Structure 1
Amino acid sequence: MKLALLFPQFAPNLYDLSIMLQANRIILLDVEQWSRKSRIHRAKIRVPNGSRWINIPLRTEDRKNAVGEVRMDHSEDWVTPLLRTIEYNYRNSIYYDFYEPEIKAEFKSAYDFTYLMDFVLHIQSRLFRFMDINIEYELASEVEEYTSNPNALVESLGADTLFQEHDSRHYQWQAEQKAEPKFEHPEYHQHFENFEPWCSILDILFQFGPESFKITDQLNSQEPQ
């Protein structure tokens, strides 16, 4: 059994999406402490001179809480500038206009949510639906055998392969049994010159739209070492 231990992400990069597609069982770590270095609250997008992060603001007093207990900070309008940033950098992408109304509505729905994780899982499901991807997962809080020690968890669940989040050594307990998937980052045409890897799936969606499978099928075909 291939097990993936990941933090919730509203727009994963292709490495983490590859892990999700290869794993037989995915556990999202809602009981672990939030970290500013994680990508629960942020995603990387393409910009003219490289890439940058878009962020969801969090309530300062919650930043030592478990992921599932962190609340978004709605004291100021953060959705409008975030959407402006996406528009400025993606308005010339082939499918931006096609998805813009729905993406705009989904981000504005953030004000209907109090907790970060609830909103993150909501918008992630919408992005996956747009890309015709189906991902099933469990929350660590609902897994009886769950322990923060990934080595012990692998043993108790009987997993023979363990995947962990990309570049997570600063905030995720790295397991001795951690396996690196056979992953070659797909290189594809972006709307700015040169190719910038490690962008979130927003980059794929706006560039490929209904043909996002041309990229995700490459991830499906990759097998772990």
Structure 2
Amino acid sequence: MKLALLTPQFAPNLYDLSIMLQANRVILQDVERWSRKSRTHRAQIRTPEGTQWINIPIRTEDRKKAIKDVRMDHSEDWVSPLLRTLDYNYRNSIYYDFYEPEIKADWESAYDYTYLMKFMLYIQKRLFRFMDINIDYEMASTLPEYNSNPNLLSRKLGADTLYQEHDSRHYLRQAEQKSTPDFEHPEYHQHFEGFEPWCCILDVLFQFGPESFRITDQLVEKVEG
């Protein structure tokens, strides 16, 4: 059994999407402590200069809590600047105008949410639907057998292969028997000159739209082949 362990993310990068698609079981580690270094509240996008992060602000007093208990900071308008950033960097992408109204409405609904987790999973569900991606996952908080030690958890669940979130060593305990997935980052045409890897799936969606499968299919075709 292939097990994938990740923190919840509203817009995973292609590596993390790859291990989610390759795994037989996906567990989102919502009981782990929130970290500013993680991608629970942020995602990387393409810019003319390279890349930058878009962020969801977190309430200061919640920064030492479990991810599932962290609240968003709505004391100031943070959605408008985020949407302006997306517009500035993606308005020339092929499918940006097609998705922009729905993306805008989704992000503006953030103020209807208090907790980061609920809003984050809502955005993720929407992006996966746009890209025709279906992933079943479980929350660590609902699993009696969950253990923060990935080695113990892997043994408890009978996993013979364990994948962990990309570049997560600074905020998640790393397993001794962590496996390296069959992954080669797809290189595709971006709307700025050159190619920058490790962008989130928004980058693929705005460029490929309904044909995003041309990129996401590459994440599993080697394994299936």
Q: Under a length normalisation based on structure 1, what TM-score does the superposition of the two structures give?
A: 0.98
Matches within 5 A, 1:1-225: 1-223=1-223
How many residues are treated as equivalent by the alignment? 224
Q: 2-side partners of 1:4 and 1:113: how far apart? A: 28
Task: Give the 3-state SS of the residue equivalent to 1:5 in structure 2.
Answer: strand
Task: Give the 3-state SS of the residue equivalent to 2:57 in structure 1.
Answer: coil
Q: Is the 8 A contact 1:90 1:206 kept in 2?
A: yes
Q: 1-side partners of 2:88 and 2:40: how far apart? A: 23
Q: Is the 8 A contact 1:15 1:183 kept in 2?
A: yes
Task: Give the 3-state SS of the residue equivalent to 1:223 in structure 2.
Answer: helix
Q: Is the 8 A contact 1:181 1:223 kept in 2?
A: no
Deviations 1:103-129 (A, max 9, x none): 000001111110001100000000000
Q: 2-side partners of 1:16 and 1:47: how far apart? A: 21
Long gaps (5+) in structure 1: none
Q: 2-side partners of 1:154 and 1:59: how far apart? A: 33
**Letter matched to residue 84 of structure 1:** R
Task: Give the 3-state SS of the residue equivalent to 2:45 in structure 1.
Answer: strand
Q: Is the 8 A contact 1:42 1:54 kept in 2?
A: yes
**Letter matched to residue 188 of structure 1:** Y
Task: Give the 3-state SS of the residue equivalent to 2:44 in structure 1.
Answer: strand
Cα drift, residue 223 of structure 1: 2.7
Long gaps (5+) in structure 2: none
Percent sequence identity is 77
Q: 2-side partners of 1:7 and 1:103: how far apart? A: 23
Q: 1-side partners of 2:103 and 2:136: how far apart? A: 22
Q: 1-side partners of 2:65 and 2:219: how far apart? A: 33
Q: Under a length normalisation based on structure 2, what TM-score does the superposition of the two structures give?
A: 0.98
